[in-house]
Amino acid sequence: MSTATDLFIIAMDPKPEQSVGQGDLSLALAGAELIDLIGARAAALDGDRVVPGEASAPADRLLAEAASALTRRTPYERVEDWLWRRGRDLAAAYQAFLEEDGQLMRTRGGRSPFGADRVVPADTPDRRRAVDRLERNEPVLAVLASVVGLDDVRSGDEPEPDPGDEAVTTVLAAVHDAVMELEAVRQRRSIESAAFANIWRVP
């Protein structure tokens, strides 16, 4: 299982205070995929550009799809652009894949950003492994979980990625900036909607 899969499983935890928006999660999943591709040498960074690697495509189906989606012509894609392009509807793709794989199940009641039924992780070895990675504060997974708002799952002693791994640091920073940009768009739209609604309240 990939870091992106582990992040999705953790985000589907049934605790309501940990609800994560699809947009935020999709951006973080794209970042997790890129980090795993870099780790597998299926991709690399040249500054802030994503360069295809020489390794063969990963066995993980969604990671293989991510690898095949890499831009293979110069000028290569910037990390930020990759996050927005690859991240489009990516959370929904992971949900469909993990439901098909038996890693997720639907329950009635509760609130879910994915529909009326709540989607929760099934009690599988993969779920236990994902939770164990987070409980051990594995740096990349812990940082991504924090970026999408799962702050309470991290301990006070928060590990940081190896500062010598510039590629990972670059990707994590880009994910953080993209999520903040998405939140700014939400707030702007909310303000605009409120202002428009107030027009009709003027006597």
- The secondary structure of 93-144 as a DSSP string is HHHHHHHHTTSEEEESSS--TT-SSEEEE-S-HHHHHHHHHHHTT-HHHHHH
Report domain extents, the chain. Answer: 3-199
Cα–Cα dist 195/193, whole Å: 5
Distances, alpha carbon 156 to alpha carbons 19, 68, 130, 144, 180, in Å = 21, 38, 20, 16, 23
Map residue 52 onto helix, strand or coil: strand
Q: Which residues pair with 119 in a beta bridge?
A: 106
pLDDT tens figures, 10-31: 998 766 556 788 899 999 999 9
| 8 Å CB contact between 120 and 107 | yes
- 5-19, 112-126, 175-189, range with the lowest pLDDT: 112-126
Q: Which residues pair with 75 in a beta bridge?
A: none
Most confident of 12-21, 22-31, 55-64, 192-201: 22-31
pTM: 0.84
Tell me which of 113 and 198 has the higher pLDDT. Answer: 198
CA 91 to chain centre: 8
Map residue 157 onto helix, strand or coil: coil
Cα–Cα dist 8/131, whole Å: 11
What token pair was written down for 194? 């409120």
Map residue 43 onto helix, strand or coil: strand
